[in-house]
Amino acid sequence: MKKILNVLGGTFLSVGTIIPVINYNFYINTKIEIVTKSYSYNFSSLDIKNIKFTNINGIEKAIINPPDLTNALKSCVTELFNSIDIEKSNKYSIGNISTNFVEAYSQNNDIKLFSKKFINAQKNIDNMNIQNHRLEIERYNDQNSGVSYFINALATIGNENVRLYGPSSYKPLKNLKDIQREFKNTFNLEITMEVWINGEDKENWGFELSQNMAFQNKEQIIDWLMINKDKIKEIVDHINKVKNTKITKMEKPKKLYKAESTDGKIFKLGDEYENNNDPIKDEYFYIDITSKSESQGEFKILVKNTQGLKIETI
C-alpha cells in the first residue's frame, strides 16, 4: 500500500511566563507559570485521491490515523508533565489549546475534558491512556451546493473521545487539498506555584492508634502522635502518596473530627471533637494535618481507634 503520510515528527516549543497573582485567602503572593508545548504532523503528502469513505450512521466518514500522530501527542503531554515540579506546585491545568491547520489559531476543542484528564493522570502518561489520535473527515453531498467536508481532530483518552481540533465556523471545506498542510497543536499549561494538600481519607488505610489505657482524650492522642516519629513519617508519606506531593514535615495537630460511616468501609468527615477532656471512644476518627511551611490546606487522616490495654483493679 502506498504510504500516504509524510511525518515530520513532534516539534516542541517551551516558553515559561510568570504572572504574579494575589491570593487573598492566604495573604501571599501566588505566581502562575505558563508553559507552552507544541507538537506537529505534516499532512502535505496525504494522498487525498485514495481516501476511503464509509457510511457510518448515515454519514460518509473517513478516518486518517497514522501512529506517529498519536506518538507526537503522547510525547508532547509527557513534556508538559515533566514541566511540573511537584515540590513547588500540585495545582495546574491546561488553560488553552490552539491549533494551526485548515484555520489559524482555532480553539474549538474539548479543553475542559482534556484538562480534567490531564490533572487526574497525576503526571503519569500511562494514566491518560492516549490512543488513536486521528483526523475524522465527514463528507456531504448537497444537490444545490455540491460536495463539502468537515474536519475534526480527535484522540481517544481514557476510553473517551476528546476533540483536539474543530473548525471555528460552520463553513465547510470544498476541496480536500486544503488539509494537505502541517497540523500543529499548542498547549498552554498553567501552573499555580502552590502545593495544596486539601482532602480527607475515605477508607481505612491501616493507621491505628496504639494506647496503654482504655481510651485517650484529644490532647493525649495529639501528644502521643507527636512523640512517635515513625507515625509522623507514616502520615507524611501517606499524604504524599494520595496528593502527589513531596512534603517532609507536619505541624502539631489542633483538631480531631468524628468519622461517619454507614457500612464501616467508606467514611466521611463528621463534627469536630470540641471537648478536650472527654475520652474518644469512637472506632474511627480523623486528625487534621497541616504542613504550613511546605503546603497550603489541610488533610484529614483517618485513624482506627484501639482500646489498648485495660488496667485491672484488685
- Short-list 231, 233, 209, 208, CA closest to 220: 209
Question: Residue 29: how many CB atoms within 10 A of its CB?
Answer: 10
- Residue 12, pLDDT score: 41
Residue 170 has pLDDT above 50, yes or no: yes
- Residue 144, pLDDT score: 84
Confidence of residue 113 (pLDDT cuts 50, 70, 90): very high
- Residue 104, pLDDT score: 84
* 228 three-state secondary structure: coil
- Residue 215, pLDDT score: 74
Mean pLDDT of all residues belonging to the chain: 87
Residue 169 has pLDDT above 70, yes or no: no
Lowest pLDDT segment from 3-7, 11-15, 206-210: 3-7
Confidence of residue 235 (pLDDT cuts 50, 70, 90): very high
Gap between the Cα atoms of 162 and 154, Å rounded: 5
- Residue 8, pLDDT score: 34
**Mean local confidence (pLDDT), 282-293:** 94
**Mean local confidence (pLDDT), 55-81:** 95
Residue 10 has pLDDT above 70, yes or no: no
Q: Which residue has the higher pLDDT, 148 or 213?
A: 148
Across 16-25, 142-151, 212-221, 294-303, the highest mean pLDDT is recorded for 294-303
Cell triple for residue 144?
444545490
Tell me how far CA of residue 79 lies from CA of 34, 70, 85, 135, 293, in angstroms: 13, 14, 12, 23, 29
DSSP 23-72: ETTTTEEEEEEEEEEEEEEE-TT--GGGPPPEEETTEEEEEE--HHHHHH
- Residue 168, pLDDT score: 66
- Residue 51, pLDDT score: 95
**Mean local confidence (pLDDT), 140-158:** 91
**Mean local confidence (pLDDT), 76-92:** 93
Tell me how far CA of residue 120 lies from CA of 128, 155, 187, 259, in angstroms: 8, 17, 17, 26
Confidence of residue 103 (pLDDT cuts 50, 70, 90): confident
**Mean local confidence (pLDDT), 77-106:** 92
- Residue 24 amino acid letter: Y
Residue 22 has pLDDT above 90, yes or no: no
DSSP 292: T
**Mean local confidence (pLDDT), 175-203:** 94
Contact in structure between 195 and 295 (CB atoms under 8 Å): yes
Confidence of residue 141 (pLDDT cuts 50, 70, 90): confident
- Residue 14, pLDDT score: 46
First to last CA, the chain: 93
Gap between the Cα atoms of 84 and 90, Å rounded: 8
- Residue 214, pLDDT score: 67
**Mean local confidence (pLDDT), 298-311:** 80
Q: Where are the domains of the chain?
A: 16-192, 199-305
- Residue 282, pLDDT score: 92
Contact in structure between 63 and 80 (CB atoms under 8 Å): no
Residue 88 has pLDDT above 90, yes or no: no
Gap between the Cα atoms of 148 and 174, Å rounded: 5
**Strand 160-165 to 59-64 pairing:** unpaired
- Residue 59 amino acid letter: I
